[in-house]
Structure 1
Amino acid sequence: MLSRRRTLCAALSAVILGTASLLAGCTSPEASAAVGCTAPGVTDDQISLGVLVPDSGPAAEGFTNSLAGVEARLGAVNAAGGVNGRKVVYQWRDDKGSTTGNDLGARELVERQQVFGLVELSVAASASAAYLAGRGVPVTGLANEPVWSTMPNMFAFTYVTGAAVDTQGRFVSSQGGTRAVILQPALSAGMTETGQKYEASMRAAGVRVVDIVNFTSGVDTPTTVAKRVISAKADTIISLISPENLIGVLNLLRQASRAPKVVLSTNGYGRELLQNFGAQAAGITMPLVYRPLELGGPATEAYLDAMTRYAPQVTHPENDASVLAYIATDIYLEGLRLAGACPNRQGFIGRLRAVNSYDAGGLISPISFRTDAIRPTTCYSFVQANSAGNGFLVVEPDLCGSAISP
């Protein structure tokens, strides 16, 4: 696990352009850094990047390995020589997944630390969105909130917008699910909104949501949750809580011979889950917005190599948080590359917004930064822990649904 106090300086070069391998596609340092650039966070030999991530608070469990993904991507491009001749140094702040923490963290990084732009790996980015847009600060990250679709300075590879989609509901229905209980962390506005989207998805696909349980780790118990699932006669669990707490609930349901037909979890994808829980994790399914690592290929190999080399503190690089952070950082590097030898924030935003086909070197399906921000992501892959709990099965490589009309 990453030290909560450590700030790593990592040099990096430009990201991929039209190649299957993230590393092979990095540009060489042949373009020297221009001298005398005046944009915030830019010096003759480096560019300063800020990162916001919940390292504490109710949302932190889903972001444990996020900084490792940032370090891996920066480390990989560092080995290739820098973005247009410059290194990128980064520092991060814990936004606690809260509106107050996010706003304060963004202002600290922009005003005091003078970063050029931000990578936001958070569920509370809406708190600082207006401030960052007003300052013209480029932001890349995870679009967990609709605000990402409304701000021209904010870039992600998947969007929730204001509309839910029926894809997850279609998957649950195809697996025989008819009555669902949603388990979500208490005291997290971002997670509550995600839960509402899942509720709409289930209902649109004809799956009845029979209970919504707010769960606080260390306060609520799996026993209480299991009783509510049994009382609701649910055959499906939609989990936004930590895998550890989810498995505690599943074990009790299995002991009571009430194991659900479908268990859909928004987090937990990775080898660490299998190592820690083995067969107890069997049947847990996770929706992914990127190409499942189990399918292999050059992009997966490049990611795993970068994690092994530059984020060795993560024993199992096959985890959702690291992959998502890796891609979010790659988008930032693409913007820097396009901004040129003397980058400024306006150039970053304008040139990246004009990109019509971006695929993170093959980790995701091609997207357009011109148009996709106004469209919710409707296509997902679904992976499931196998019956032995020692591997994942790709049960649905590419299931596409539709946006749900308000």
Structure 2
Amino acid sequence: MTCDSREFFRLFFRELEQRSIPYVILHSYQELPDNISSDIDYAVPTSDLPKLRGIQSELARKNGWALAQTLQHGVFAFYAVLVNLENPHESLKLDACSNYARARRFLVSEEILLGNRLPYRGFYIPAPAAEFIYVLAKVFDAKNKSPAKYLPRLKELWEQDPDNAQRYFTQVFGETGRSLKEWFNHPPDDWRPLGKVMLSRNSFGPRLKLQESVRVVKRVFQPTGICLAVLGSDGSGKSTLLANLEQLLQPCFRHQQTFHFRPAVFQKKKQGVITDPHGKPPRGLLTSWLKVFYYFADHWAGWFLKVIPGKIRSTLIIFDRSFDDLLVDQKRYRLRGTSGLVAVLRHLLPKADRVFVLSAPARVIHQRKPELPLEELEKQQSTLQQLAANESRYALVSAEQTPEQVANAVCREVLLCLAAREERRS
């Protein structure tokens, strides 16, 4: 029996306390943990940031969750996504920092954020002046937010500790010619120039610039995206699975991209919807071989130009069919006499992280989509099962289940794959 997101929230922050790791939940905590509607921004000391991945991974493993993603998006910032394995629709996004830095600017120190923290409903929050300067700096952190939305809360925090709020304000923005009391008498649009002031005076020094460069290089060698492929006969439910997967895995990745069979680097025009993929006769032997080499080259070019950059940018990449489909459904690609060539070339291509093979008895698929002869479907299913049996990265999934069951089963496998990657990196 797994716990829900509210209980996992309590378990995690209780664990930090037990390990003597001071923390504060930085803002929007009034309804936590009963209503978790967005990321949870919190701060811990810099020395404790590297410990978070291990703590989250251990807690997830013990409670039926998976630590699906840890993304270092700043020198002092780590974003983690945890997902309930029994109910993949339920996730928890924890965004940790120590010092608050954005756009290569050092804005608020951990001493300010964690100093004089206050207990609140079973967890800790910042002192009013600390929350004030954090929220104000976040308004101007290069995302073009409107000050009007935040000024009522900022004024409320300032009124609780005006002296420290003014002191922190001066540290971040310098002498602006107005006190905070005067600023609050001005309309929201008058606050906007403070953003340029803040960004111009808090740039990283050489040491932090070097750390930022190291972080970027590390992202290249430890990408946070993943490449998946889905194989199956027409009628096995690939399209439905892809739509469900994109929804279930959306919290884990910054971007999503789907390729239909190949990256199409060398294809200038998009093809329309193919309504009769087996309607045309096969090509000649020479043309078929040339076509296979063309697909092979396109996969390699796409790997370097699209897949690798996408994985670095934390993209969920899914191939709806892959190069292996040339073995499964030669008629679709109008090939003749290419099975041996494809069998050799497929081993020379870079591999997807996981490949899911949708399999069902040919008669079941034929009932769903009778366009293909039963004999052809039986042949395809045999080839698919052989592929799944001979490759460790391949997983056979029963397409006889309901679409929701198929999606949950595949999603669970992806989450376990991501969790294993996090374990290796922790």
Shared fold, TM over 0.5: no
TM-score normalised over the length of structure 2: 0.28
Q: Per residue, is there more helix in 1 or in 2? A: 2
Is the radius of gyration larger for structure 1 or structure 2? 2
TM-score (norm. length: structure 1): 0.29
Give the structure, 1 or 2, with the largest relative contact order (CA under 8 Å, sep 6 or more): 1
